Structure 1
Amino acid sequence: MPAAPAPESRFIDAQGLALHVRHRPVDGAPAVLFLHGWLDHSHSFDPVLPHLPAWHLALVDFRGMGRSGHVGGGATYHFSDYTLDVELALDGLGLKQVHLVGHSLGGIVALAYAAARPERVKSVSLIESLGPSAGAPAVALERLRSFLNDSHRPPNRKRYASVEDAAARLRENNPTLPEAAALLLARHGTEPFEGGVAFTFDPRHRRRFGMSYDEAQWLAVQGGITCPVQLIRGSDGLAPPEEVLKRRLDALPTLVGPPLMIPGGHHVHMEQPEAVARALAGFVTDRA
């Protein structure tokens, strides 16, 4: 069987902002939208794609990440903006309903969007993700202060001598990330800058949000999810404290089965792409 063609890049007008989407339409196949993690980009799913069925694929770069446009001067990024990216991507591609696959931040966005737009989401597959690090209501004031303090920090772009140096930096921040995965992320996530390279993401993403959900608010959002949900975790990945994990799992009645644990770290889909693809394929195909 010949390999399925790679998704093609296109830009969607997201209310004046250029939203980069990679798209491979397949008539009659399930439509699946992939949402990447914080400061990553859609190519983080590339290792998984060859092992998937011939789905109708879409992969988005969130605003200010990957090849998507950055917000203008004086503007900031908010979590709700990412849910708008999902909606505008679906509208721009003419997709009425999709299965969502989200890694880390992308999984949080997928859950929030599925709760807000249940009629548009057929299922959610989470990879190393089960809601934000919400915290107690008491941290709201410190969060706001941090946001104001961060707003005075210049949005500095760091220069790296080469793509390889940028990849090495990624591995410093994420030691379980394999060298090949780090190189893939750096190759697609950097651009020429001052005689070297810099990451394409807007450095303002490193500033703290001024507003966020506390635990009670997040559980209220999560309570709006009506579609089936699967959770894939890396054995050495990130996880909230056990009591938070249990509370969120208990409050997600549409979760199908226990979390699937696969050997690997936070980017387990890049470390074990075949195993993750098998899990995704079985789940989505049963709900197509």
Structure 2
Amino acid sequence: MPPSFEPLIVLSQGIELHVRQRHPSGTPAVLFLHGWLDNSHTFDWVLEHLPDTWRIVLIDFRGMGRSAHVPFGGNYTFADYLLDVESTLDTLGLSEAHLVGHSLGGNVATAYAAARPARIKSVTLIESLGPTGGSPDGALDRLRGFLDDAQRPPRRKSYPSVEEAAARLRENNSSLTEAASLHLARYGTEPAEGGYVFRFDPLHRRRFGHGFDEAQWLAILSAITSPVQLLSGSNGLTADDARVRARLAAMRPAKTLTLSGGHHVHMEQPEAVARALEHFIR
């Protein structure tokens, strides 16, 4: 029987992160990073097919899943998620680890691997090639949007059932299967007056005041020294255009693999993704 997961609390700049760990004495150590507004249970089906001897660590980013929200008056920035990764590695005594990130989690894995090359042994990106900063002429609109969003009170919409919440997830991501959306909703909602609400902090829906431009992100990609594997869904978000080709050239992935599926391809093809992870990490 596979070893069970132990729930832990990790403090990241005073914010309590919900962390799960399996086989703390195992090797290699692999840290999984989920996507925007998702939670660590997005990887559950992949983990069923990975070796029991591996040390598996999963975190819910601040303000998502079961992790705490920022205090009143706080905000979220991309760099905060790198602090969540570093705090988790430090607290668990991990001097080095392999990173696996989906979507936003992949962007975080990319940036952290570039900033802390000695700590990262490999990076696997699932449907993730970096943020879209937009053109320079959109910078002013981004700032205005950030200020406008800050004037709107956060709102958590209630759904009559977990199934209705799952249906909402599929509205936002048409490639998400019914089974996957229900799994994410089960672990991503909590009971509230009128039904169920998503656990993530609604402040995450506010626009950032700034972002990386393309030259900055290419510099980050070029700084990665650990081996990189890129897994994509055939119906996912990764397009074949000049921007993508430039990013691939900067990152120089050791392996690329396209599997049948959408943006959450790891939930559609968990065994195939697990095989790719095991082969690459070994």
TM-score (norm 1): 0.95
Structure 1 equivalent of residue 48 of structure 2 = 50
Structure 1 window deviating more from structure 2 (263-272 vs 25-34): it is 25-34
Q: CA deviation at 1:26?
A: 4.3
Q: 1:282 aligned to 2:279?
A: yes
Question: 1:153 — aligned with what?
Answer: 152
> Is contact 1:11–1:19 with CA below 8 Å preserved after alignment?
yes
Q: Which residue of 2 aligns with 1:223?
A: 222
User: What secondary structure, in the 3-state scheme, does the structure 2 residue paired with 1:46 have?
Assistant: helix
Match of 1:130 in 2: 129
Question: CA offsets, 1:234-284, max 9 Å, x none?
Answer: 00000246111100001113x113x20000000000011011111111001
Q: Deviations over 1:41-89 (max 9, x none)?
A: 0000001001011210000000000000000111110000001100001
Which one is further off, 150-159 or 21-30? Answer: 21-30
Which shows bigger deviation, 35-44 or 140-149?
A: 140-149
Q: Which residue of 2 aligns with 1:20?
A: 18
Where structure 1 has 5 or more consecutive residues not aligned to the other structure, the ranges are: none
Give the gaps of 5 or more residues in structure 2.
Answer: none
Q: What's the RMSD between the two structures over aligned residues?
A: 1.1
- Hey, what does 1:190 align to over in structure 2? 189
Per-residue CA deviation, residues 85-140 of structure 1 (Å, 9 max, x unaligned), is 00001111111100000000000000000000001000000000011112222222
Q: Is 1:180 the equivalent of 2:209?
A: no
Q: Which of structure 1's runs of 4+ aligned residues deviate more than 6 A?
A: none
- Counterpart position of 2:92: 93
Counterpart CA distance in 1 for 2:21 and 2:232 is 26
**1: CA distance, partners of 2:88 / 2:132:** 26
1:250 maps to 2:249: yes
Between the aligned residues of both structures, percent identity stands at 63
Report if aligned partners of 1:133, 1:240 keep a CA contact under 8 Å in 2. no
TM-score scaled by length of structure 2: 0.97
Aligned residues: 281
Paired residues of 2:3 and 2:23 also in contact (CA < 8 A): no
Paired amino acid for 1:101 = V
Partner of 1:169: helix, strand, or coil? helix
CA contact (8 A) 2:160 2:195 kept: yes
